[in-house]
Amino acid sequence: MHPILPPFPHTRLRRLRRTAALRDLAQEHRLSVKDLIWPIFITDVPGADVEISSMPGVVRRTLDNAIRAAEEAATLGIPAICLFPYTDPGVKTESCEMAWDPGNFVNRVIRAIKAAVPEVAIMTDIALDPYNANGHDGLVRDGVILNDETVECLVKMGVAQAEAGADILGPSDMMDGRIGALRTALEAAGHADVTILSYAAKYASAFYGPFRDAVGASGALKGDKKTYQMNPGNSDEALRLVARDLAEGADMVMVKPGMPYLDICHRVKDAFGVPTYAYQVSGEYAMLMAAIQNGWLDHDKVVLESLMAFRRAGCDGVLSYFAPTAARLLAQG
């Protein structure tokens, strides 16, 4: 619907842009620190807690440093952090049994953060790639990524994370049927209040490269993920996937990557009206940081403008490596 406007000069659209006060009053969308989820990389591998070369300013964190990140998030008002592990390649297997080990590093970090900073929500990643010798999100047999067998593993992984104290489970694997299976298992295990933020529309994107460096999956990956992640040329399919995940019990849904798929964010929010998130992925972060470091873009302005794009597209929030930076900028007004 478009308003009927009287002709110029009775309508001068610049009137509402004339001063900062008028621009504030007329602003349609706003970005808040409460819209942010901060993804962090964690590791217990000696010597691996270093800056990631393809993601300037982003480091892998030991348990103590992960707790400090949660404390920083609480101080800044960031409501949630999301954990992604870098695992020793020597302990990865084809059966991925470490993924659901109650004592694995992710679950230890969840317990430690919940004990130290209980007010910060902890989101986790549910996919087998950090523990998979083949680098895939699912089990592999004869070059084929298995769906139903993988779902059984993912359910065990999710229940173990819930028992460790995770607030939000993020299934990112894109296997069929995993949301329903996970929701059923959580109810049966007494974790009815644990939230599922489904990576409902996750594309087989070229923007994930730096993330795979960060979690150590680049060298391990055999082949690609196109048989389970979405074709970048599809948009109607995204709506079918979101509808399916909501019907199976997802509380919130995500589009990934973010900026190249703002049209999908808008369609999802418009069609379903549910809490909708996007992930400003590693490649988006890396390309902005490269331009910033070369002096081609203004750091502060670009960070906030890039995040505002998600709000304008209809997202309720965004996972971003810029979260602490954005929180500080927003606090400055």
Read off the amino acid at residue 5.
L
- Amino acid, single-letter form, for residue 210: P
Told to judge if 256 belongs to the known catalytic residues of this protein, a careful annotator would answer: yes
- d(C-alpha 207, C-alpha 286), whole Å: 9
User: Phi and psi for 199 in degrees, rounded to 5?
Assistant: -75, 80
Distance CA 172, CA 69 (A): 23
Q: How far apart are the C-alpha atoms of 174 and 224, rounded to whole Å?
A: 14
145 CB-contact burial (10 Å; exposed 0-12 / middle 13-18 / buried 19+): buried
CA 97/CA 287 separation, integer angstroms: 35
**Residues 6 or more apart in contact with residue 235 via CB below 8 angstroms:** 263, 264, 267
Judge whether 225 counts as a catalytic residue: no
Per annotation, catalytic residue among 92, 114, 225, 256: 256
CB 151 within 8 A of CB 183: no
Residue tagged active-site, from 202, 222, 225, 269: 202
**Angle between the 323-331 and 299-313 helix axes, to the nearest 10 degrees?**
100
**At a CB cut-off of 8 Å and minimum separation 6, what does 180 contact?**
248, 249
Residues acting as catalytic residues: 202, 256
